[in-house]
């Protein structure tokens, strides 16, 4: 194998109905038959896309926006959130009635029993409201947190908590990851492990958390449904996810014959 391609999940592998188009499934099988290494790069936790990995027979991935990297089912890189900084974030968020969800590789817990913003944001991913355990992050390594607040609050958190990067993925929620952490950094860790050159790496994405990835890989492809801030960094803009955008993009960059 001489080439590797990373796929984001939501809006890229999954269409707007949260299903994988048949054309995408076929394209990934063809990539493997042509000895192209296939991996996932997502903001999701591993337990949140286990079904997708099984359906596509993919066992290498960059999760939590780069903080937990697995190669052929074996973790090769872990970068948890700083617990002391997370305690301070939790205290501030509580004072403003902004809920948090804490995630590790196998579970997620909320710091509140029930919240409308959590329910709506998690529902958009087809997940229910997490159970409450506000001390979860004190007992486990946490690779990503979700902060639930309106956009006008985000800059205040960014100014105060410089140990973290805040990436908005929903009207009500932002990902909280370690500063300088990104899908791009996770991809670099996997390339080092597998022995691929950066110039032989490709990535497909659609969201704000894909910007560093698209800018870093050898060839970055933005979905037609991608946010405009991502498209300006892409080497190529393919069609919408619901218009066989994966297949069109793979053929256009020469990965599929």
Residues that are catalytic: 8
Contact 125, 16 (CB under 8 A): no
* Closest to 68 (Cα-Cα) out of 87, 84, 86, 49: 49
Contact 230, 224 (CB under 8 A): no
Do β-strands 100-103 and 108-110 pair in parallel, antiparallel, or remain unpaired?
antiparallel
CA 158 to chain centre: 20
Contact 204, 6 (CB under 8 A): yes
List, as one string, the DSSP characters of 64-86: GGGTEEEETTEEEEE-PPPHHHH
Contact 108, 122 (CB under 8 A): no
- Going across the sheet that includes 201-205, the strands are 74-78, 68-71, 61-63, 36-41, 3-7, 201-205, 219-222, 236-237
Backbone angles phi, psi at 202, to 5 degrees: -130, 155
Helices 83-95, 151-160: axis angle to 10 degrees equals 140
Strands (E), the chain: 3-7, 36-41, 61-63, 68-71, 74-78, 100-103, 108-110, 144-148, 164-170, 173-178, 201-205, 219-222, 236-237
d(CA 224, CA 241): 7
């Amino acid at each position: 194998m001489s080439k590797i391609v990373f796929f984001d999940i939501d809006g890229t592998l999954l269409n707007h109905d949260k299903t994988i188009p048949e054309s995408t499934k076929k394209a990934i099988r063809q990539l493997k038959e042509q000895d192209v290494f296939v991996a996932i790069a997502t903001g999701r936790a591993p337990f949140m896309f286990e079904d997708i990995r099984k359906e596509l027979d993919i066992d290498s991935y960059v999760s939590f926006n780069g903080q937990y990297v697995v190669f052929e089912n074996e973790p090769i890189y872990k970068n948890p959130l700083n617990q002391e900084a997370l305690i301070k974030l939790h205290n501030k968020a509580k004072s403003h009635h902004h809920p948090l969800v804490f995630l590790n590789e196998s579970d997620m817990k909320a710091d509140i029993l029930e919240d409308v913003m959590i329910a709506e944001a998690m529902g958009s991913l087809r997940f229910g409201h997490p159970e409450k355990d506000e001390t979860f992050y004190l007992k486990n390594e946490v690779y990503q947190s979700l902060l639930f607040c309106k956009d006008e609050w985000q800059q205040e958190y960014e100014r105060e908590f410089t140990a973290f990067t805040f990436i908005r993925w929903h009207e009500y929620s932002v990902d909280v990851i370690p500063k300088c952490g990104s899908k791009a950094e996770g991809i670099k860790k996997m390339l080092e492990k597998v022995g691929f050159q950066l110039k032989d790496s490709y990535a497909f994405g659609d969201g704000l958390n894909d910007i560093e990835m698209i800018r870093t890989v050898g060839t970055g492809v933005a979905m037609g449904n991608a946010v405009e801030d991502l498209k300006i960094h892409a080497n190529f803009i393919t069609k919408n996810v619901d218009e066989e955008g994966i297949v069109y993009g793979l053929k256009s960059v020469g990965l599929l014959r």
